[in-house]
Amino acid sequence: MTSPRSESQPRPDLAPDPSLGHAEMEALQRDIAGAAVFEDEFGFDPEPLTNPLAASAATATTDTDSAADSPNASQPTVVGVDQSFLTNEAGDQDRALSAVVAMRGGEVVERVHAVTDLKTPYIPGLLSFREGGAILAALESLTVEPDLFLFDGSGRIHFRQAGIATHIGVVRDVPSIGVAKSLLCGRLQGDTDNLSAGTRVAIEADDSVDAPAGTLLGYAVQTRQYDSPNRYINPLYVSPGHRVGPETAADLVLGLAGSYKLPEPVRLADQYASEAKREFLD
């Protein structure tokens, strides 16, 4: 079921500014969280994304004469975003490379990347100020219109409810989801050891988060699992970034995971980041 378009608008005035001081960055993140919408407010049909088998069956049984008439043309455009870093001759990271992969109907429709200088050190919780410039630069060169962003990073699961998925989602006013490999903050509401595929465990705010205790921040989502008692795959930590609720965020990540742990747009963005990085190494 689709939801009505939000009344929100792009907020370029809230773009991450690496020249700000630490306290100013945190204050800006609180403004970002205040502008974010942590519930479903998007205009696309999520069914092809949350139920990809049904979407594939519909595509296979539909005759088309051109790419423009393809069933994929009406499906949402999902954009995966991942980062890599380039080092200088001294071996220090001095540039961020943002890789962006746009997919529609399970097919890649565009890939772009951008490189910008790193102007701030790595500080937990302030990732968007280190990497956001490269991300926004890459998104500027994207020619397709995104319906949904998936970031390798956090959304609402963040000390100030404003991880990189929330920050960029609000700045661009595009529905967004954070997909992290480790838990930054919050309290798990259950055990996450050796979960079966499809399982999700709620993550709620605790005293490390600038939100009322018990606020649902997102889910630990088990997208894939080994059929073995001797090893297991850890879950992903999925949270709404902007204009997507926590349940829908988990549904979308599960639907987009395909045969791998990571949702396909993020997995391909990760691969593309490595590929693009080789251009600079060569």
Annotated binding site: 82, 152
* E strands in 64-168: 77-87, 93-104, 107-117, 148-152
CA angle 78, 109, 223 (to 5 degrees): 40
77-87 vs 148-152, strand pairing mode: parallel
Smallest CA-to-CA distance from 231 within 181, 193, 188, 190 is with: 193
Q: Which residues are annotated as a binding site for Mg(2+)?
A: 82, 152
Contact 77, 146 (CB under 8 A): yes
Q: For residue 28, what are the CA distances in angstroms to 32, 75, 123, 154, 200? A: 6, 34, 15, 17, 31
The neighbour count for residue 22, using CB atoms within 10 Å, is 11
